Amino acid sequence: MVGTAARAAIIGDRRITGLSAEVITELVVELGPLWHDRHQARLVARPRKRAVGAGAKHRLVFVDRLLATLVHLRHGATHDVLACWFGVDRSTVTRAIGEVRPLLAERGCTISQGLHLRTLAEVIDHLGSSGQTGIIDGTEIRVRRPAVGRKDRDRFVSGKNKQNAVKAMVLTDEKGRMLFCSPAEPASCADITHARQLGLVKHLVDGPAVEILADAGYQGLEPRPVVAS
Protein backbone atom coordinates (compact mmCIF):
# COMPACT_ATOMS: atom_id res chain seq x y z
CA MET A 1 0.00 0.00 0.00
CA VAL A 2 1.28 3.44 -0.91
CA GLY A 3 2.24 5.61 2.08
CA THR A 4 0.32 8.68 3.16
CA ALA A 5 3.09 11.03 2.04
CA ALA A 6 3.35 9.40 -1.38
CA ARG A 7 -0.43 9.49 -1.80
CA ALA A 8 -0.50 13.19 -0.92
CA ALA A 9 2.29 13.83 -3.45
CA ILE A 10 0.35 12.07 -6.21
CA ILE A 11 -2.83 13.99 -5.44
CA GLY A 12 -1.04 17.30 -5.02
CA ASP A 13 0.85 17.25 -8.34
CA ARG A 14 -1.58 17.66 -11.21
CA ARG A 15 1.04 16.46 -13.71
CA ILE A 16 0.73 12.92 -12.35
CA THR A 17 -3.02 12.35 -12.72
CA GLY A 18 -4.10 15.33 -14.82
CA LEU A 19 -6.72 16.21 -12.19
CA SER A 20 -6.82 18.68 -9.35
CA ALA A 21 -7.03 17.55 -5.73
CA GLU A 22 -10.62 18.83 -5.62
CA VAL A 23 -11.69 16.69 -8.58
CA ILE A 24 -9.97 13.60 -7.16
CA THR A 25 -11.79 14.15 -3.85
CA GLU A 26 -15.07 14.43 -5.74
CA LEU A 27 -14.36 11.16 -7.56
CA VAL A 28 -13.54 9.36 -4.31
CA VAL A 29 -16.75 10.58 -2.66
CA GLU A 30 -18.91 9.75 -5.68
CA LEU A 31 -17.39 6.49 -6.91
CA GLY A 32 -16.12 4.97 -3.65
CA PRO A 33 -19.56 3.85 -2.42
CA LEU A 34 -20.39 2.44 -5.88
CA TRP A 35 -17.19 0.40 -5.91
CA HIS A 36 -17.89 -0.89 -2.38
CA ASP A 37 -21.46 -1.88 -3.28
CA ARG A 38 -20.33 -3.76 -6.38
CA HIS A 39 -17.57 -5.49 -4.46
CA GLN A 40 -20.03 -6.66 -1.80
CA ALA A 41 -22.45 -7.83 -4.48
CA ARG A 42 -19.71 -9.97 -6.03
CA LEU A 43 -18.94 -11.52 -2.64
CA VAL A 44 -22.59 -12.32 -1.98
CA ALA A 45 -23.06 -13.82 -5.46
CA ARG A 46 -20.39 -16.49 -5.02
CA PRO A 47 -20.35 -19.40 -2.55
CA ARG A 48 -18.78 -18.44 0.77
CA LYS A 49 -15.73 -20.47 1.80
CA ARG A 50 -14.77 -18.42 4.84
CA ALA A 51 -16.58 -16.87 7.74
CA VAL A 52 -17.75 -13.28 7.45
CA GLY A 53 -14.76 -10.98 7.98
CA ALA A 54 -12.19 -13.72 7.39
CA GLY A 55 -9.75 -13.90 4.51
CA ALA A 56 -7.20 -11.48 3.12
CA LYS A 57 -7.85 -7.76 3.49
CA HIS A 58 -7.53 -5.23 0.68
CA ARG A 59 -3.97 -3.97 0.29
CA LEU A 60 -5.24 -1.09 -1.84
CA VAL A 61 -7.93 1.17 -0.42
CA PHE A 62 -10.26 2.73 -2.96
CA VAL A 63 -8.40 6.03 -3.23
CA ASP A 64 -5.22 4.13 -4.15
CA ARG A 65 -7.12 2.06 -6.70
CA LEU A 66 -8.44 5.26 -8.22
CA LEU A 67 -5.00 6.89 -8.29
CA ALA A 68 -3.40 3.83 -9.92
CA THR A 69 -6.10 3.87 -12.60
CA LEU A 70 -5.71 7.60 -13.26
CA VAL A 71 -1.92 7.28 -13.60
CA HIS A 72 -2.34 4.33 -15.95
CA LEU A 73 -4.84 6.17 -18.12
CA ARG A 74 -2.84 9.39 -18.28
CA HIS A 75 0.66 8.04 -18.82
CA GLY A 76 0.12 4.48 -20.04
CA ALA A 77 2.20 3.16 -17.13
CA THR A 78 2.32 -0.63 -17.13
CA HIS A 79 0.72 -2.65 -14.35
CA ASP A 80 4.16 -3.88 -13.33
CA VAL A 81 5.41 -0.34 -12.75
CA LEU A 82 2.29 0.62 -10.79
CA ALA A 83 2.60 -2.54 -8.70
CA CYS A 84 6.13 -1.52 -7.67
CA TRP A 85 5.00 2.03 -6.96
CA PHE A 86 2.03 1.00 -4.81
CA GLY A 87 3.77 -1.94 -3.18
CA VAL A 88 1.36 -4.67 -4.30
CA ASP A 89 1.26 -7.56 -6.76
CA ARG A 90 0.68 -6.89 -10.43
CA SER A 91 -2.56 -8.87 -10.29
CA THR A 92 -3.86 -6.48 -7.63
CA VAL A 93 -3.26 -3.49 -9.89
CA THR A 94 -4.83 -5.27 -12.86
CA ARG A 95 -7.91 -6.11 -10.83
CA ALA A 96 -8.13 -2.56 -9.43
CA ILE A 97 -7.96 -0.92 -12.86
CA GLY A 98 -10.50 -3.39 -14.21
CA GLU A 99 -12.91 -2.37 -11.44
CA VAL A 100 -12.38 1.41 -11.53
CA ARG A 101 -12.30 2.07 -15.28
CA PRO A 102 -15.97 1.10 -15.79
CA LEU A 103 -16.97 3.41 -12.93
CA LEU A 104 -15.14 6.32 -14.56
CA ALA A 105 -16.67 5.52 -17.95
CA GLU A 106 -20.19 5.37 -16.55
CA ARG A 107 -19.70 8.68 -14.76
CA GLY A 108 -18.74 10.43 -17.97
CA CYS A 109 -17.11 13.85 -18.34
CA THR A 110 -18.14 16.70 -16.05
CA ILE A 111 -19.01 19.82 -18.05
CA SER A 112 -20.50 21.90 -15.27
CA GLN A 113 -21.94 21.37 -11.82
CA GLY A 114 -24.39 18.49 -12.09
CA LEU A 115 -23.90 18.01 -15.86
CA HIS A 116 -22.17 14.79 -16.95
CA LEU A 117 -21.85 13.69 -20.57
CA ARG A 118 -21.75 9.89 -20.67
CA THR A 119 -22.41 8.94 -24.28
CA LEU A 120 -21.36 10.16 -27.71
CA ALA A 121 -24.98 11.08 -28.48
CA GLU A 122 -25.11 13.31 -25.39
CA VAL A 123 -21.88 15.01 -26.47
CA ILE A 124 -23.21 15.75 -29.97
CA ASP A 125 -26.44 17.14 -28.49
CA HIS A 126 -24.43 19.32 -26.09
CA LEU A 127 -22.26 20.73 -28.88
CA GLY A 128 -25.30 21.42 -31.04
CA SER A 129 -27.35 23.09 -28.30
CA SER A 130 -24.42 25.25 -27.17
CA GLY A 131 -23.28 26.13 -30.70
CA GLN A 132 -19.74 24.92 -30.08
CA THR A 133 -17.28 23.33 -32.50
CA GLY A 134 -15.98 19.87 -31.64
CA ILE A 135 -12.47 18.53 -32.18
CA ILE A 136 -11.94 14.82 -32.77
CA ASP A 137 -8.86 12.64 -33.03
CA GLY A 138 -7.54 9.20 -32.23
CA THR A 139 -4.88 8.60 -29.59
CA GLU A 140 -2.73 5.51 -29.13
CA ILE A 141 -1.33 3.97 -25.95
CA ARG A 142 1.47 1.45 -26.18
CA VAL A 143 0.69 -1.95 -24.66
CA ARG A 144 2.52 -5.18 -24.00
CA ARG A 145 2.82 -7.44 -27.04
CA PRO A 146 -0.05 -9.97 -27.08
CA ALA A 147 0.85 -13.56 -26.28
CA VAL A 148 2.11 -15.87 -29.02
CA GLY A 149 -0.72 -17.85 -30.50
CA ARG A 150 -3.38 -15.21 -30.00
CA LYS A 151 -5.39 -15.12 -33.23
CA ASP A 152 -5.80 -11.34 -33.39
CA ARG A 153 -2.24 -10.59 -32.31
CA ASP A 154 -1.40 -8.58 -35.44
CA ARG A 155 -4.39 -6.26 -34.93
CA PHE A 156 -2.55 -4.49 -32.12
CA VAL A 157 0.31 -3.34 -34.36
CA SER A 158 -0.08 0.37 -35.16
CA GLY A 159 0.48 1.20 -38.80
CA LYS A 160 1.57 4.71 -37.79
CA ASN A 161 3.99 4.01 -34.95
CA LYS A 162 4.90 0.40 -35.77
CA GLN A 163 4.36 -0.72 -32.17
CA ASN A 164 1.78 -2.69 -30.22
CA ALA A 165 -0.88 -0.30 -29.01
CA VAL A 166 -4.57 0.31 -28.42
CA LYS A 167 -6.45 3.31 -29.79
CA ALA A 168 -9.22 5.50 -28.38
CA MET A 169 -11.27 8.22 -30.06
CA VAL A 170 -11.32 11.48 -28.12
CA LEU A 171 -13.74 14.35 -28.72
CA THR A 172 -13.18 17.76 -27.13
CA ASP A 173 -14.80 21.18 -27.33
CA GLU A 174 -13.11 24.13 -29.06
CA LYS A 175 -11.18 24.92 -25.86
CA GLY A 176 -9.70 21.43 -25.70
CA ARG A 177 -11.87 20.26 -22.79
CA MET A 178 -12.50 16.51 -23.13
CA LEU A 179 -16.12 15.58 -23.66
CA PHE A 180 -15.87 11.93 -24.70
CA CYS A 181 -13.28 9.15 -24.77
CA SER A 182 -14.23 5.88 -26.41
CA PRO A 183 -13.37 2.35 -25.30
CA ALA A 184 -9.99 1.25 -26.65
CA GLU A 185 -9.65 -0.78 -29.84
CA PRO A 186 -6.58 -2.53 -31.30
CA ALA A 187 -4.39 0.12 -32.94
CA SER A 188 -4.66 -1.33 -36.46
CA CYS A 189 -8.24 -0.02 -36.60
CA ALA A 190 -8.34 3.11 -38.80
CA ASP A 191 -9.61 6.34 -37.24
CA ILE A 192 -12.55 6.63 -39.61
CA THR A 193 -13.49 2.97 -39.09
CA HIS A 194 -13.41 3.41 -35.32
CA ALA A 195 -15.62 6.50 -35.59
CA ARG A 196 -18.16 4.61 -37.71
CA GLN A 197 -18.18 1.67 -35.30
CA LEU A 198 -18.96 4.08 -32.45
CA GLY A 199 -21.95 5.42 -34.38
CA LEU A 200 -20.60 8.93 -34.94
CA VAL A 201 -22.12 9.17 -38.43
CA LYS A 202 -25.58 8.23 -37.14
CA HIS A 203 -25.36 10.74 -34.30
CA LEU A 204 -24.33 13.49 -36.71
CA VAL A 205 -27.19 12.62 -39.07
CA ASP A 206 -29.89 12.29 -36.42
CA GLY A 207 -28.61 15.00 -34.08
CA PRO A 208 -28.28 18.78 -34.36
CA ALA A 209 -26.01 20.51 -36.86
CA VAL A 210 -22.48 20.32 -35.46
CA GLU A 211 -19.13 21.29 -36.95
CA ILE A 212 -16.37 18.80 -36.15
CA LEU A 213 -12.70 19.61 -36.74
CA ALA A 214 -10.48 16.63 -37.52
CA ASP A 215 -7.44 15.58 -39.51
CA ALA A 216 -7.53 13.90 -42.91
CA GLY A 217 -8.00 10.49 -41.30
CA TYR A 218 -11.69 11.29 -40.81
CA GLN A 219 -12.46 12.63 -44.29
CA GLY A 220 -15.44 10.83 -45.75
CA LEU A 221 -17.70 10.96 -42.71
CA GLU A 222 -20.69 12.19 -44.68
CA PRO A 223 -23.34 13.56 -44.86
CA ARG A 224 -22.26 15.90 -42.07
CA PRO A 225 -18.90 17.37 -43.17
CA VAL A 226 -15.84 16.93 -41.02
CA VAL A 227 -13.44 19.82 -41.55
CA ALA A 228 -9.87 18.63 -42.12
CA SER A 229 -7.34 20.71 -40.21
Cβ neighbours around 26 below 10 Å, total: 14
pLDDT at 73 over 60: yes
pLDDT of residue 162: 84
pLDDT of residue 2: 67
pLDDT at 53 over 80: no
pLDDT of residue 68: 93
β-strands 115-117, 226-228 pairing: unpaired
Q: Is the pTM of this model over 0.75?
A: no
pLDDT at 223 over 80: no
pLDDT tens digit sequence for 122-131: 999 999 999 9
Q: What are the domain boundaries of the chain?
A: 4-107, 112-228
For 15-133, strand residue ranges (E) read: 109-112, 115-117
